[in-house]
Structure 1
Amino acid sequence: MSIFSTEALKGKHVLITGATGGIGYETAKVLVEMGAWVTITGRNKEKLEQLKKELLQAASNEQVFIQQADLAKQEDRENLVAQAENKFGFIYGLVNSAGIGGGNVVEELDEETLDRVMELNFKYTFLLTQRVYRKMLEKKEGSIVNLASLSGLRGTHGGTAYAASKFAVVGWTQSMALEAIEHGIRVNAVCPGYVDTEMAWNSIRRRAEKNGISFEEGMKQAASEIPSGRLSTPEEVANSIAFLLTDASGNIVGESLKISGGSVMR
């Protein structure tokens, strides 16, 4: 549920990638409650259709547009932006939530995995953003929020590929923000620690197996390592993203907002 007024993003068009699950899914829900016109995209059309049905139960009118897209394909990226603009007009907000986990210890990390993680988490996200940003430059307004990670601020054992991709997202966010603010456009990132989503579950499951304990024990161990004693919820991250899209964060530029229950303090 959104913690913001239903007027906070009324009439603003926001494009959300990776909206078929996890943080992107919850962000779509929050933004619709805030009155935004929302375009959601992902590779699984069935999940997109289901999300649209759920969103429109809470929406007062036709606020949601779905467009299936594989961001690895230039044609899909171009078509996504064109179809979104055709439906709701100028894209004021972009939430780059699409991404994957994965990786291995350095000596066992293969080139294929490295390429896949770097391309999906950084390269294709950058190329889509570039296309949307060019339109923002014409209007001299807009807000971009990139989903990075706590792993984009510090290294993780066995997570070289993922951490490298998220460090790239943070560096790109900071550099682009300096250029974009000259044109009235803000660029920021959110950096969650463990979030109660499938991606975190998979990471915790792998670590549990390595340590010879059950998944349930692994979850308890992960929570115990967080000063707050629990994983963040997707909704908490979604509300942070929503804040960065609103005028309430009008002078927040190039930041990497940590959402970690205090994990960064340890």
Structure 2
Amino acid sequence: MKNAIITGATKGMGRAIAAAFAQQGISLAINSRNAAELAAFKAELMQINPAIKVFTAVADGSNKEQLLQFATEAQQNLGVINIIVNNLGIYAYSKILDDEAGLFEKMISTNLMPSYLLYRHFGKSMIAAGEGHIFNICSVASLNPVVEAGSYSVTKAALLSLNNVMRLELQPHGVKVTAIIPGSTLTDSWKGQEVDKDTMVLPEDIASAIVNVLNMSKGANVDQLIIKPAGGQL
């Protein structure tokens, strides 16, 4: 049985990915700052597949100490971590010159730092095992900056760059790394706005794509996967 750690797993894409992994028989380590949300989602995952293990921790993924404690406890409870999904992220609609004080630092600690820390924490054990798969949830803003979301674009571009370095470091050792690059996806980032879900990528689309990539043969890796709305970006 494989074990996965997913950051930001109680909402949006992370939630859909966790549910899809449960259906695949993959045991899960998930965290959230909200204990009630975490407990409810754990029950839902166990209902999807009673055969898996689900480890939960009340932890802020953007806090270095809490994230690393969560990672250590995930290993202790599940065993070897084979899959990492770096999904935690926040979006801010703001030009860089209009950013509130501290926004850039918050973006780095949420959109970039957790992926770096979990890579450092698990990377060498994945090399020793000669297998594993890391997914980094980037954004089309990683490729084409959105000026109205400047700091978001910068941190997501940095995440894609980190993803590429991870892949190059790990590929001689049989460990795979994939950048998932979604376009306009129906998540909490769109809360309060009127949108038509039929014009957007759904979180379940991202989850389905990740499962397909994960189930490819040992010799195949998807370096980058761009998933955009059929009718173009919103």
Amino acid at match of 1:239: S
**1:75–1:112: structure 2 CA closer, same or farther, 3 Å change rule?**
closer
CA distance in 2, matches of 1:170, 1:56: 33
**1:265–1:71: structure 2 CA closer, same or farther, 3 Å change rule?**
closer
CA distance in 1, matches of 2:57, 2:118: 14
The Cα of 1:263 is off from its aligned counterpart by 6.4
Q: What are the within-5 Å matches in structure 2 for residues 1-266 of structure 1?
A: 11-199=1-189, 201-202=190-191, 215-216=193-194, 219=195, 230-248=199-217, 250-253=219-222, 255-262=223-230
Q: Residue by residue, what CA displacement relative to the aligned partner does 1:3-31 show, whole Å, maximum 9, x if unpaired? A: xxxxxxxx111111101100001111000
Q: Residue by residue, what CA displacement relative to the aligned partner does 1:108-158 show, whole Å, maximum 9, x if unpaired? A: 123411111122100232112210212212212100000101111101131
Measured on the aligned residues, the alpha-carbon RMSD in Å equals: 2.1
Kept in 1: contact 2:199–2:230 (CA 8 A):
no
Residue in 2 that maps onto 1:3: none
**1:57–1:87: structure 2 CA closer, same or farther, 3 Å change rule?**
same
Runs of 4+ in 1 over 4 A off after TM superposition: 262-266
Kept in 2: contact 1:170–1:256 (CA 8 A):
no
Q: Residue by residue, what CA displacement relative to the aligned partner does 1:192-215 show, whole Å, maximum 9, x if unpaired? A: 11111111x14xx5xxxxxxxxx4
Computing the radius of gyration from Cα coordinates, the structure with the larger value is: 1
CA distance in 2, matches of 1:183, 1:252: 13
CA distance in 2, matches of 1:166, 1:197: 17
Q: Secondary structure at 2:199's aligned position in 1?
A: coil
Kept in 1: contact 2:86–2:135 (CA 8 A):
yes
Identity %: 27
Normalising by structure 2, we get a TM-score of: 0.92
The Cα of 1:246 is off from its aligned counterpart by 2.6
**1:108–1:47: structure 2 CA closer, same or farther, 3 Å change rule?**
same
Kept in 2: contact 1:176–1:187 (CA 8 A):
yes
**1:35–1:59: structure 2 CA closer, same or farther, 3 Å change rule?**
same
Kept in 2: contact 1:23–1:97 (CA 8 A):
yes
**1:148–1:136: structure 2 CA closer, same or farther, 3 Å change rule?**
same
CA distance in 1, matches of 2:57, 2:218: 29
Greater Cα shift, 34-43 or 74-83: 74-83
CA distance in 1, matches of 2:68, 2:96: 35
Normalising by structure 1, we get a TM-score of: 0.81
Amino acid at match of 1:128: L
The Cα of 1:177 is off from its aligned counterpart by 0.3
